[in-house]
Chains A and B, each alone.
Chain A
Amino acid sequence: MDELRMVRDLYVPPEPAPPQEVAAARARLDAVMRTRRSRPRWALRGAALGAAAAGVALAVAISVTSPRPQMTRPAGPSARTVLLDAALSADRQPVTKGKYWYVDSRIRWLQKVKAGGYLIRSTAQSETWRAAGSSSPASAVGTTHFLGARPATPADEVAWREAGSPRTFLTVEGKRVSGKAGSVTADMRGSDLDMSSFAAQADLDELREIPETPDRLRAWLLALPQSPAGPHPGPTTLPAPGRPSPSPPGPPTRAQLDYWLFVQGVSLLLYSPITPKVRAAAFQMLAELPGVKLIGTVRDPDGRQGTAVAMDRIGPGDRPLRIQRRLVVDTKTGRALADEEVVLGPNTDYPGLPFGVVASTTTVRSAGWTNKAGWTRDH
């Protein structure tokens, strides 16, 4: 007889805390964290020391524990310093060569389940190869493997069990998601990556032309036909077959250009066969974007520790989309580890997810030149 199991089943899965309550709770903590900031730790040690010495020299103890003039803390790391660190490290890496540029990445995303309200995380594995000798896009090949969905956290797992441990999930968007892995699908273009980025679409010839200094890289990216700053002779050039845009877009704002550059830089760093010099330039370019902020030390879903920098996504008219794009880097090696999206508030991309969660991640497990063409085995 399992009383403990019965006890667990007795409790109805609770609703997640309403977003405003989470925000209020975080604000309370933020307020306390801020007040602690101005108090250097040596003051605490000084106080302890003072107390120990109190019997001997009371006057000394008092002077040690009495309020001191505010110490100016050394400037902490900023997004800029983190990215410049990464640039320096990237620049020190050796140039490598091989027959194929191979990228092994894992994509994970959260969805909310309708019955039970818990979150599930789906995982897919992606591998792409590009042949070095050819610059034709057709020389790229990729495979994608859906690895199944499962409750996102232990708390979700409890709720999942209480919902009867279903094997397939119906999400709040009405999508059916399987808990089981699917079969491997081949994709001749290797185009599973974020197609809004130049890096995912560029062929190797284009990538060879990329400038190696941040200013020239920036100018070069902005001059690309895909760039929002690129030549716009008129709305007719917009590729919108059957879906005419209601109004021709105005010139892009500074914030829109910056966000676009952020996405391109992130994508180049994560997925593209670029040299250590270009890699360093890309980090430097990101370091100079005003909207980039430092998130801090994070652990990516593969368990690797890195530093996250982020930029908030904006929509037309600089409307905030309440989604934050994050790049996780290992500043010691200058490697880009992961690309993440975080839910900041109500938005259409991630319905029902609690605010503050990392809603989707792509972790690049390895990206580099290899002489082994894995795909020849299967295709």
Chain B
Amino acid sequence: MTAATGDQATRAACDAAVIRESRDVPERFGAIFDAYFAEIHAYVARRIGPENASDVTAETFLAAFGKRDRYDAERASVRTWLYGFATKLVGKHRRSEMRALYAMDRMPPEAESEELEERLTGRIAAEGLRGRLSSALAELPAGDRDVVLLVALAGLTHEQVATALDIPYGTVGSRLNRARRKLRAALGGTNPLLGLEDNDG
């Protein structure tokens, strides 16, 4: 259910125009905050928990505002650019992130509906699996975890991850492969729930 490419291109062009305008009229940057606060907050809250999420998200926009003169529309969309700042700031809250990850096996999400419960039981709420996966995530090198979560939570492409984190494109692939291998191993090498296994690396 992603928006049409045309919409995204329009949106990216408009965002870039707002950044450009904000260089002379700083208040224009408020439009970027209004458009992306909720999305960035959702990402940050998942990674470090809800307590400091609003503060870290606020700092994300402050950091981006401070660097608006250096934003390059050719390189990244504003959205990708913001995920870069958010991810760097999340890195300063490593302890909160670890706490959030280790809390996951103790606190399975409350199933609010039968449908949701069924889904969770079917996929990942199986005994111990949540804990194994979250521990494995916690044990990944920080840079690898950033890549995994920008893909899994923010839905960024490899290319976007590369620009967001300012790392080479090839590095994204190698970090992701390495991380996936570790996650898979933590889950026992096979997926007992899906009952089938592919061979992609």
Contacts and interface: CB of A to CB of B under 8 A. Distances in A.
A65 to B, nearest CB: 17
B153 A41 contact: no
B198 to A, nearest CB: 6
Contacts, number: 167
Contacts of B33: 25-26, 29
- Counting chain A residues whose Cβ lies within 8 A of the other chain, the interface size class is 35 or more
Interface in A107-143: 115-116
Contacts of B194: 1-2
Contacts of B184: 1, 3
Given A1-B197, A33-B29, A158-B42, A297 B180 contact: no
Nearest to B184: A3
A16 interface: yes
Given A3-B183, A32-B65, A26 B30 contact: yes
A344 interface: no
Interface in B150-198: 151-153, 155, 180, 183-184, 187, 190-191, 194, 197-198
A7 B133 contact: yes
Given A76-B25, A155-B42, A303-B11, A6 B124 contact: yes
Contacts of A12: 46, 109
B17 A33 contact: no
A29 B30 contact: yes
A76 B22 CA distance: 13
A296 B14 CA distance: 12
Interface in A343-364: 354, 356-357
B18 interface: yes
Contact of B57 (A2, A17, A164, A354): A17
Given A25-B57, A29-B33, A7 B26 contact: no
Report, as a range, how many residues of chain B touch the other chain: 35 or more
B127 interface: no
Interface stretch (A146-154, A225-233, A272-280): A146-154
Nearest to B45: A14
A166 B115 contact: yes
B23 A29 contact: no
A7 B155 CA distance: 12
B148 A115 contact: no
Interface in B27-70: 27-31, 33-34, 37-39, 41-43, 45-46, 50, 53-55, 57-58, 61-62, 65-66, 69
B137 A7 contact: yes
Given A9-B124, A11-B153, A154-B39, A21 B30 contact: no
Contacts of A36: 26
B187 A3 contact: yes
Contacts of B46: 11-12, 14
A32 B26 CA distance: 9
A47 B43 CA distance: 38
A305 to B, nearest CB: 6
A91 interface: no
Interface string A63-88: 00000000000001000000000000
Contacts of B151: 4
A297 B27 contact: no
A7 B152 contact: yes
A283 B176 CA distance: 55
Interface in A148-184: 150-151, 153-155, 157-159, 162-164, 166
Contacts of B74: none
A115 B112 contact: yes
B53 A14 contact: yes
A53 B99 CA distance: 51
B183 to A, nearest CB: 4
17 contacts: A17-B37, A17-B38, A18-B54, A24-B58, A25-B58, A28-B58, A29-B65, A32-B62, A32-B66, A115-B113, A155-B38, A157-B1, A164-B118, A164-B119, A166-B115, A303-B6, A305-B14
